[in-house]
Amino acid sequence: MQFLTSKEEDNKTEDDALDKLKAMGDKNVVKCRTCNGDHWTSKCPWKDTMIAGGKIDDKKIGGPVGTPGAVGGDNKQTGSKYVPPSLRDGAVKRGEGPSASRRDDSYCAIRIANLSDSTTETDLEDLVKPFGPLQKLYLAKDKITGQCKGFAYIHFKFRNDAAKAISLLNGYGYDHLILSVDWSKPVNSPNQ
């Protein structure tokens, strides 16, 4: 009976693997997926210079194709880095496109604050309807109880109707509270 230590066992398995490689002849057993060299892909000197499409970026390795040290690739970078949607080709800038029509002077929103808990959408609509036609009415409600949170946004079709509502409702007593009414965003803001 012969006892082998772990070191002898390790040496024996490595020797067996080398013998098998030598027996296979001159075939390349190890081939890099990055540059097709005779080394492991994880040990490739050009692994950090990859761009989309499996090409090597010449700018990162210091020269154009055909110079020593450059392996494959083209001079165009096809964009392997993430580009946010706002910076992509054909991106619509803020204040342009189909949603821009909502931001013109004829679309105005006001904010009504200090509403009582018992205020409903119909109460609010009755309050602001005399000032002009409405685009949208939003009453903030608690998800659990369904009661008013104390503020609402009213979108009028015309700016002068919204201005009239602000001038008459700001400081108006409603349901034992004094309302605070103002533009939802500053009138002269660049985003509006």
Per-residue confidence (pLDDT) for residue 76, from 0 to 100? 45
**Is 18 or 118 the better-scoring residue by pLDDT?**
118
Residue closest to 111 by CA, chosen among 39, 52, 166: 166
Q: What 3-state class would DSSP assign to 160?
A: helix
**Is 124 or 8 the better-scoring residue by pLDDT?**
124
Indicate the domain borders of the chain.
1-87, 104-183
Is the distance from CB of 140 to CB of 148 less than 8 angstroms?
yes
Per-residue confidence (pLDDT) for residue 71, from 0 to 100? 42
* pTM assigned to the model: 0.44
What's the distance, Cα to Cα, between the start and end of the chain in Å?
90
Q: What 3-state class would DSSP assign to 5?
A: coil
6-to-2, 13, 25, 117 alpha-carbon distances in Å: 13, 11, 29, 78
Per-residue confidence (pLDDT) for residue 57, from 0 to 100? 56
Looking at CATH, the fold of the domain delimited by 104-183 is given as: Alpha-Beta Plaits (3.30.70)
Cα torsion for 11, 14, 20, 26, to the nearest 10°?
A: -120
Per-residue confidence (pLDDT) for residue 111, from 0 to 100? 94
Does residue 98 have a pLDDT over 90?
Answer: no
Does residue 186 have a pLDDT over 50?
Answer: yes
Rounded-to-integer distance, Cα 120 and Cα 109, Å: 19
Does residue 179 have a pLDDT over 90?
Answer: yes
At 7-58, the pLDDT tens digits run: 655 556 656 766 665 666 555 577 888 788 888 888 888 777 765 555 555 5
Range in 23-37, 102-116, 156-170 with the lowest mean pLDDT: 23-37
Structure confidence at residue 142 as a pLDDT band (50, 70, 90): very high
Per-residue confidence (pLDDT) for residue 73, from 0 to 100? 42
